[in-house]
């Protein structure tokens, strides 16, 4: 009997060791997440929604923690370095061909565009601690009181946005509610506490703009044929050199289902010359409560223009945009 007890204990220990083994974890990860390129040392705790595109690569020791009702979305070709933590409380979206280097941490609600580069140890968290609501109380107790107040807790997380083509240097910190405009460069160890205009270079703690990459002045019209207009095809467009060469025969820039163009802010009408990417499928394109149905043929569509920042569109499938202008 004693020998049987020892054998059972040994078999139990072997079973636990096997369950914890790197080989079993790798097998389970491949089964659960087909097509995802990842180290077998990646840890997943996925209770919400996790979606990823083609060619996503996740390095050693990463932690992906997605609680119920939260979502983590990784676009095509994303690279996630070693020991990165991604922990949405609501939504973390990372655009295609964005790279996040080792030991970076993104917590809460974060939206990062295409073609961004985050260096080592970048921190973004959309929440905070509370020390002024009831200063006589412990900070931890103030946090607890906020979590129990339906109004205060609903305001706790303020989404961080990093738009397309940004470079954040080593040890950079982006604070809750901040928008880093398209094309920005944020210096090493900078602490970004306020919005940064597009194509700015910002350094320091708190970060301040010291110069611009170029004079970002949205025009009244743009065309896909002019490379100088690329910055104003503002978000959601496939604009890398290789993508533009591959799609050149289409006669315009390919746009995802969510995209924006940045023309002179005005209370006016914005026109798009646009068509469906797929000849076989019609697409519904919406902006400002106005919708148009697109087919394979080019069509000039009018929408209300934004009087503050870029004009944002939503489509039911990818489209091709050749020009935009105001009237």
pLDDT tens-digit series, residues 4-40: 666 676 666 655 555 556 677 777 777 889 999 999 9
For residue 155, what pLDDT is reported?
Answer: 83
- Average pLDDT of the residues in 195-204: 98
Give percent above pLDDT 90 in the chain: 79
User: Nearest 5°: phi and psi at 254?
Assistant: -75, 135
Predicted pLDDT at 12: 63
Q: What pLDDT band is residue 3 in, cutting at 50, 70 and 90? A: low
How far is CA 124 from its chain centroid? 12
For residue 210, what are the β-bridge partners? none
Q: What is the dihedral of CA 309, 315, 318, 322, to 10 degrees?
A: -50
pLDDT digits (tens, 9 = 90+) for 206-216: 999 999 999 99
Is residue 267 very low, low, confident or very high in pLDDT (cuts 50, 70, 90)? confident
CA distance 185 to 216: 14
Residues 78-118: tens digit of each pLDDT: 999 999 999 999 999 999 999 999 999 999 999 999 999 99
For residues 45-59, average pLDDT: 96
Distance CA 61, CA 166 (A): 25
Question: What confidence score (pLDDT) does residue 31 get?
Answer: 85
Three-state SS annotation for 268-315 = CEEEEEEEECCCCCCEEEEECCEEEEECCCCEEEEEECCCCCCEEEEE
Residue 263 has pLDDT above 80, yes or no: yes
Mean pLDDT, residues 311-325: 97
Strands, E, within 43-165: which ranges?
43-46, 49-52, 57-58, 63-66, 71-74, 79-80, 85-94, 99-100, 105-112, 117-118, 123-125, 160-162
Q: Is the pLDDT of residue 316 over 70?
A: yes
Radius of gyration of the chain, Cα coordinates, nearest whole angstrom: 23
Between 123 and 16, the more confident residue is: 123
Q: How confident is the model at residue 233 (pLDDT cuts 50, 70, 90)?
A: very high
Residue ranges and CATH numbers for the domains of the chain are: 25-212 (2.160.10.10), 221-326 (2.60.120)
* Model pLDDT for residues 150-190, shown as the tens digit of each residue: 888 888 889 999 999 999 999 999 999 999 999 999 999 99
The reported pTM is 0.87
Pairwise pLDDT comparison (7 vs 247), residue with the higher score: 247
User: For residue 73, is pLDDT > 60?
Assistant: yes
Q: For residue 145, what are the β-bridge partners?
A: none
Q: Count of CB atoms within 10 A of residue 11's CB?
A: 10
The predicted model gives 300-323 an average pLDDT of 96
Range of weakest confidence among 144-148, 245-249, 283-287 = 144-148
């Amino acid at each position: 009997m004693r020998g049987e007890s020892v054998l059972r204990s040994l078999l139990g220990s072997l079973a636990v060791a096997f369950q914890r083994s790197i080989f079993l974890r790798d097998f389970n990860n491949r089964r659960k997440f087909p097509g995802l390129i990842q180290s077998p040392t990646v840890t997943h705790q996925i209770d919400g929604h996790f979606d990823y595109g083609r060619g996503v690569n996740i390095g050693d020791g990463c932690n992906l923690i997605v609680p119920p009702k939260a979502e983590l979305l990784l676009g095509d070709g994303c690279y996630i370095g070693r020991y990165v933590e991604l922990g949405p409380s609501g939504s973390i979206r990372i655009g295609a061909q964005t790279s996040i280097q080792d030991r970076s941490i993104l917590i809460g609600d974060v939206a990062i565009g295409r073609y961004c580069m985050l260096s080592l140890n970048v921190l973004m968290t959309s929440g905070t601690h509370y020390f002024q609501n009831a200063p006589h109380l412990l900070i931890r107790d103030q946090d607890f009181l906020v979590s129990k107040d339906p109004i205060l807790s609903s305001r706790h997380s303020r989404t961080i946005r990093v738009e397309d083509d940004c470079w954040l240097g080593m040890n950079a910190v982006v604070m809750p509610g901040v928008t880093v405009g398209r094309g920005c460069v944020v210096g090493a160890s900078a602490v970004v506490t306020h919005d940064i205009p597009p194509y700015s270079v910002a350094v320091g703690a708190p970060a301040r703009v010291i110069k611009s990459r170029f004079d970002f002045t949205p025009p009244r019209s743009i065309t896909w044929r002019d490379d100088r207009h690329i910055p104003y095809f503002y978000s959601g467009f496939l604009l890398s050199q290789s993508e533009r060469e591959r799609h050149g025969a289409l006669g315009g820039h390919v746009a995802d289902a969510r995209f924006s163009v940045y023309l002179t802010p005005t209370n006016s009408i914005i026109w798009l010359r646009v068509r469906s990417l797929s000849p076989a499928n019609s697409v519904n394109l919406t902006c400002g409560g106005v919708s148009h149905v697109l087919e394979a043929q080019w069509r000039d569509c009018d929408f209300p223009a934004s009087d503050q920042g870029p004009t944002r569109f939503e489509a039911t499938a990818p489209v091709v945009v050749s020009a935009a202008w105001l009237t």
